[in-house]
Amino acid sequence: MREIKLQAADNSGEFSAFIWEPQGKASAGAIVVIQEIFGVNDSLRETAQNLADQGFIAIAPDLYWRLRPGVNISDKTEAEWKKAIGLMNRFDQQKGVEDLVTTLAAARTLPGCNGNAGTIGYCLGGRLAVMMAARSDSDVNISYYGVGLDELLPEFEEVESPLMLHIAELDEYFPEASRDKLLSGIEENEWVDAFVYPNVQHAFARVDGIHYDTRAATIANGRTAELLAEILD
């Protein structure tokens, strides 16, 4: 893993982005890995390393840099949850998307990148991945248990590249009525594939997370890997 600095589009400063590179592959697609509310933490870093092991260049920007650079929080204690939620509530999602667009452009020009680039996001990042699908030239976007996606239905109308949604049936942050509204609203959208995973909670694919579910995570990650390989290789 190595760290680079990127200039914010609004010239307000520089932010860090962390890069994991595949071994023994001369040319690879790039994936912008979008953090949960916990920052670019150990779990996200392991996820990025796994993507690199699959043969992709993974790049994870520090989206909290305007609030507090270098956040690395787990989901294990109430104190950490309170800290993470406090950061999320102060986080400017519009600025976050701007930073992601900057990261995506940088990803395409990284040494060894074949020019193809997409996004993958989890929780808060899952929401931002949908926004990137609507607002950027990303080649493919993956959203894991994105929050409040039914509020983004107008954004889905702007999507013109493959977008995959992984949704937890028992997601405590995305109730059934909201899920049904989302699924109904995207039913005719040819760019969007949505999968609902039964009997699992929010963050079922978070590495070492308290709600990690091996079977659901394996199925979801397999679908993700297949789509990323199809579009980015």
User: Strands (DSSP E) along the chain, which ranges?
Assistant: 2-7, 14-20, 28-34, 57-61, 113-122, 141-144, 163-168, 192-197
Convert the pLDDT of each residue in 132-163 to its tens digit: 999 999 999 999 999 999 999 999 999 999 99
For the chain, the first-to-last Cα distance in angstroms comes to 21
**Predicted confidence (pLDDT) at residue 79 exceeds the cutoff of 90:** yes
What are the Cα distances from residue 206, in Å, to 59, 186, 191? 18, 25, 25
- Global pTM value: 0.97
Domain total of the chain: 1
- What mean pLDDT do residues 211-230 have? 98
213 is catalytic: no
Catalytic: which of 62, 150, 166, 202? 202
Kindly state the tokens that stand for 73. 């929080």
- CATH number of 80's domain: 3.40.50.1820
Whether residue 99 lies in the annotated active site: no
From the number of C-beta atoms within 10 Å of its C-beta (0-12, 13-18, 19+), residue 65 rates as buried
Q: Choosing from 171, 180, 193, 208, which is the catalytic residue? A: 171
CA distance 180 to 175: 9
Confidence of residue 25 (pLDDT cuts 50, 70, 90): confident
Distance CA 107, CA 110 (A): 5
* Structural domain span for residue 64: 2-232
